Chains A and B, each alone.
Chain A
Amino acid sequence: MRAARAYADAFARAWGIARATPVLSLLVVVALATALALPLFAAAVSEGALAAVGRIDANPTVSVVLVPTSGAKERETVERGLRRLPGVPAVRFIPRDAALAQLAAVEGMGDLVAGLDANPLPDTLVATLEDGDPRTAADVAGRIRTTAGVGSVQSDVAWVARLDALARVIRWIGGLLAILMAVAVVAATFAAARLQALTHRKSIPVATLLGATRRWVARPYLFHGLLQGTAAGLGAAAIVAAALAGLSWILRPMFPALADFAPLPGLRWVAVAVVAGAVLGYAGAWLATRNLSSRPAVA
């Protein structure tokens, strides 16, 4: 009960510190929130991109375009060759007439297709791959390319791999930012707590002479750091939510499919931001107060 009262009193004194220095406390929260928001934003974007890659990777394919002069016999040969290759569970044939019909169905393309004298599209065989590994796609493409009747081979795996690599780079940068910003958050909280402790440099020795322990002296600053970090975590989540909403708003007219690739931060992200802010805020204050003397000055 006494311990609970001590903690409650320390929280009250921490709140007192915030009230005594409202502008400094607020500026520190803003600085911490900004620092926490950067890695959080990078993490949200990279996770969204990786999730998008995962969705695309569900049916990775290699498209084999047949030469216009190829006949049914050559098509069957190519199709058999594809089915025999490892990592190709299914092959689908898209006749050139069906491809033209699909093109004509696309909004705005009907008139263009209607104006054509002849169907310029080739017959195509689409091989579905077992996995999104670019090496599998390259192997399939390399083996089938030399078969008679094959005009060209295209793989959608390559750009997916590039997107995947880009997402991993963003994640790596986010990790680096997280480390750098963690140091910045600790440094900012350290400086603020030290400054606030300095403003009480006369009263701390008095409290010590009245029997205050080192914990009693330091605890309000630690809790103040904790409160600042928690508020900064919530602020960071709000900044990231605003940034992602803005990104989605910019992408939506041009790339509707990508507009929602990085969803607004969920409870998990908010929790990560708040816990990270609280831990880092506490750590900074701890560093700032660990040298606060609990003994009277001795000659």
Chain B
Amino acid sequence: MSATIRFAGVTKRYPGGHEALVDASFALEAGAFAYLTGPSGAGTSTVLKLVAGIERPTQDTVLVNDQNVGRLSPRTMPWLCRKLGLVMPEVALHDDRTVGENVALPLEIAGVERDDAARRVRAALDKVGLAGRERVRPMALSGGEQQRVAVARALVHRPSALLADEPTANLDGAAADVVLGLFRDFHAVGVTIVIATHDEGVMARHFGRRIALERGRIVGDVAPEAS
């Protein structure tokens, strides 16, 4: 149900020489709840992209459940993706699908039976406060509502790890707490949660391990008990 994530001296260098991540090492045990925090350009999003396989490390390895993500074949990569829940700009909502169809997409891909999928979609939308909005197109929703649809889609297939890049960016305080509460619920049943954010308020209200980055380097790693 939960996933382990390990970075062992990972460097990510983009064409042109920009180093988004430099010699980063950390380990998240199964069921961890961690924030990646730092100013813009610190490399928090790059960490999430490397875990999701959107980017490949230039140097050394990223392990998810002891599998080297950078070396997964095109055949095996989808099976890793199905274990992840992604709330990231790269995983935008489909404008040509309704909200319900968007949330159902991971279930459709996994081959979940239609009635079961419909029930789970309704439940997921209910949890993010969008019950009854299945037939609406994402374009008709506000930015915050779209963010909540993305959260529902990331969690509907019960992933073993959730990777969220600024999931509360478009949400007011109450809505952010609803989403973080939802993440907490999934964390309570063993899902590994990794959130890239610079929202101090969120981190203050919802304890978790903080991995601080600056210019691609890890500059702090604080366990939840000490925060």
Contacts and interface: CB of A to CB of B under 8 A. Distances in A.
B109 A210 contact: yes
A5 B115 CA distance: 12
B90 A205 contact: yes
Given A206-B91, A206-B92, A294-B74, A211 B110 contact: yes
Max chain B Cβ within 10 angstroms of own Cβ: one of A203, A210, A214, A297: A210
Contacts of B114: 5
Contacts of B14: 299
A20 interface: yes
B94 interface: yes
B140 interface: no
A212 interface: yes
Nearest to A210: B106
Interface in B88-114: 90-92, 94, 96, 105-106, 108-111, 113-114
B41 interface: no
Contacts of B52: 209, 296
Category for how many chain B residues contact A: 20 to 34
B113 A5 contact: yes
A209 B153 CA distance: 12
Interface residues of A, number: 24
Most chain B CB within a 10 A radius of its CB, from A20, A206, A211, A295: A211
A214 B55 CA distance: 18
- Interface of B, secondary structure class, is loop
Contact of B92 (A2, A5, A202, A298): A202
B54 interface: yes
Given A5-B113, A294-B77, A299 B55 contact: yes
B111 A5 contact: yes
Contacts of B75: 213-214
A298 B74 CA distance: 12
Nearest to B107: A210
A207 B96 contact: no
B60 to A, nearest CB: 16
A207 B96 CA distance: 13
A216 interface: yes
A30 B148 CA distance: 45
B51 to A, nearest CB: 12
Given A209-B86, A294-B77, A298-B56, A2 B111 contact: yes
A214 B86 contact: no
Nearest to A209: B91
Given A208-B81, A210-B86, A214-B74, A298 B94 contact: no
Contacts of B90: 205-206, 209, 296
A294 B78 contact: yes
Interface in A184-213: 202-203, 205-213
Contacts of B86: 209-210
Contact of B94 (A6, A203, A213, A296): A203
Given A210-B153, A295-B77, 5 more contacts: A9-B111, A211-B82, A213-B78, A216-B78, A298-B56
Interface of A: 2, 5-6, 9, 20, 202-203, 205-214, 216, 294-299
Q: 6 nearest interchain CB pairs?
A: A211-B82, A211-B81, A296-B54, A213-B78, A211-B78, A210-B106
8 contacts: A2-B111, A5-B111, A203-B94, A206-B94, A210-B153, A213-B78, A214-B75, A294-B74
Interface of B: 14-15, 52-56, 74-75, 77-79, 81-82, 86, 90-92, 94, 96, 105-106, 108-111, 113-114, 153
